[in-house]
Amino acid sequence: MTNEFVEFVKDQMAPLGGIVSRRMFSGAGLYHDGVIFALILRDTLYFKVDDGNRAAYEAEGLSPFSYQVKGRTVEIGSYRRVPERLFDDADEMVDWARAAVAAGRRAEAKKKKTARLRRGTARGGAEILPKGRRAR
- Residue 86 and residue 96 in contact, taking contact as beta carbons nearer than 8 Å: yes
Instruction: Write the DSSP symbol of residue 125.
Output: S
pLDDT of residue 95: 96
pLDDT of residue 79: 95
pLDDT of residue 90: 92
How much is the pTM? 0.78
pLDDT of residue 1: 61
Domain boundaries in the chain? 3-119
- DSSP strand pairing (44-48 vs 35-41): antiparallel
pLDDT of residue 75: 85
Fold of 3-119: Yope Regulator; Chain: A, (3.30.1460)
pLDDT along the chain (136 residues), means of 10: 88 93 90 94 93 94 88 89 95 96 90 63 59 58
pLDDT of residue 113: 65
